[in-house]
Structure 1
Amino acid sequence: MPRLLLLLFFAGFSLQAKERFIEFSVATAELPPYVYLAENKQPEGLFIDMLNKVQAQTGMKINVFIMPWGRAINEVKKGSIDAIMPTLWSKERAQFLVYPALPFYRFSPSVIIKRLEDDFEFTQLKQISPEKIIGKTRLVLVDDEFDSLVKQGKLSVYETTKLDEALLMLAQSKIDLVASDGDIALTTIKRLELEQRFHLFAMHKDPSPSYLAFSSQFAHKYDVNYIMTLIDQAIKQP
């Protein structure tokens, strides 16, 4: 091969490799079994396994930082951290987060949790009296109807940093109900050994798409849809 063509070949190869090397940071809160700090203080869980697979197959470098949800939101807002997960789409968050077209994960349907001895029966959100206090972790977005009813003062919510806290308050009759993702609720209830204390009502049948959403600063430099396509392809690889 002539020397000029050889140089052009390697230049093109290097450029392609450089474009494919992407490094970014991700903020998340503890959310067993999806992400949590292990005994060695390193992030573990289903989401970490998924991102490790992405790194192995794409060459991306993804740095995960576990922190309280409120701090995670603020760090991504100001661009100190590039992305946040898992987050449902909301009009409010879309003002400062850039959501790719593809979701990162689909959560199980949200649930309403009550004490077993409570005679409350869930049929729809509008039926819940504002006198009942609903516990919810700050990172959980239940759905648009739930948020709308809260803003209208038709639902009363007490926010906690972790689901453990909300469930323990429910068990102690300090609050009346808890709203959560179904799988997270089941895992946490089992870990707290409270399986015989609660009853769960499914709010809807469809899984909720959750996103790896990016800061506006990061999205200005990189094509987040391209990045998410690479991530999605890597995750789906056997």
Structure 2
Amino acid sequence: MFDHQRRSLTIGSLCLSILLIGYSLPAYSTEKGSIRVATVLFPPYVTLNSNQEVSGQAVDKAKQLFKRINLTPIFIPLPWKRAIQSVENQEADVILPIFRTATRDRLFRFTTRPFMELDVVVFKVKGKQLSSVDGTLSFLKGLRISRIRDVSTSTEFDKMVADGEITIMHADSIPQQMNQLLQGRVDLAVGISGTHLPFSGEGKPEIIPIPISTRSAFIATSFSAQHAGLFEQIESALLSMEQQVQGE
């Protein structure tokens, strides 16, 4: 009976070891010629076309980048938290575009060069009248403003928030943010230029022509991922694309 138990335990331990070995294998392999890219629907940068295929400005740029290192990107559109988890669990190899925050710096390895530069702007409901828009952010004082949670906008704006000059209502997604604006729950919204376009039309969001700042978006992967030089290749491709733009 004890011998049978020992044999069962040995077989069970062997099976568990095999499972653990399989689980720890890197998700990325140059032999596959592809790379799994987690992303979030973020029109017009990441969206779905009429064929329900992932497309958009960020997708086009990512395709150009990975072509330079002979990889075919497989885009995986997910809700934000699930996209983050997919990289942490190595169900995806990288995530893009992603903004850096202090919290995310502890979770991910970011490219040193930005993947994209995006303008941060102020949105208002079309037709809404504002007083004293003088080219500075002083017109924001005393207003209720929607902002995506955990996303910094600019040093000046963040200081106004810290000083209590602006009341912030957080949103967890762009649709939620735009709904807050359109329903009159806030006076204005702060976000990335272009993200209002799917909501455009009569009485819909429009940009106030006063840019707040420019935000750098990056490519990131998990610290625990074993990518055999992948990030070095991505960095090289980003540099090459940057030099090409500068030379045009």
Shared topology, TM-score over 0.5?
yes
Distance 2:167 2:181 in 1: 14
Q: What RMSD, in angstroms, separates the aligned Cα atoms of the two structures?
A: 3.5
Pairing partner for 1:47 from 58, 80, 90:
58
Distance 2:150 2:77 in 1: 13
| Residue in structure 2 matched with residue 218 of structure 1 by the alignment | 225
Distance 1:194 1:164 in 2: 17
Pairing partner for 1:202 from 206, 210, 216:
210
Cα deviations by residue, 1:110-145 (Å, 9 ceiling, x for unpaired) = 11223443435566668745x643223458542355
| Residue in structure 2 matched with residue 9 of structure 1 by the alignment | none
Pairing partner for 2:110 from 93, 99, 112:
99
Residue 219 (structure 1) shift: 6.3
Residue 49 (structure 1) shift: 1.7
- Contact 1:26/1:85 (<8 A) preserved: yes
Distance 2:107 2:164 in 1: 25
**Which structure 2 residue ranges, 5 or more long, are not aligned?**
1-28
Residue 82 (structure 1) shift: 2.3
Change (3 A) 1:155 1:219: farther
Residue 30 (structure 1) shift: 0.8
| Residue in structure 2 matched with residue 174 of structure 1 by the alignment | 185
Change (3 A) 1:154 1:221: farther
Q: 1:173 is aligned with what amino acid?
A: G
Distance 2:205 2:45 in 1: 24
Residue 166 (structure 1) shift: 2.4
Pairing partner for 1:62 from 43, 53, 73:
73
Q: Does 1:34 pair with 2:45?
A: yes
Aligned-residue sequence identity (percent) comes to 20
**Which structure 1 residue ranges, 5 or more long, are not aligned?**
1-17
Distance 1:152 1:79 in 2: 40
- Please give the TM-score of this superposition, normalised by the length of structure 2: 0.68
- Please give the TM-score of this superposition, normalised by the length of structure 1: 0.71
Q: Report the 3-state secondary structure (helix = DSSP H, G, I; strand = E; otherwise coil) of the residue aligned with 1:102.
A: coil
Cα deviations by residue, 1:159-180 (Å, 9 ceiling, x for unpaired) = 3344344234323312221011
Residue 77 (structure 1) shift: 3.0
Q: 2:108 is aligned with what amino acid?
A: L
Q: Which has the larger radius of gyration?
A: 2
| Residue in structure 2 matched with residue 228 of structure 1 by the alignment | 235
| Residue in structure 2 matched with residue 79 of structure 1 by the alignment | 90
Alignment: residue pair count: 215
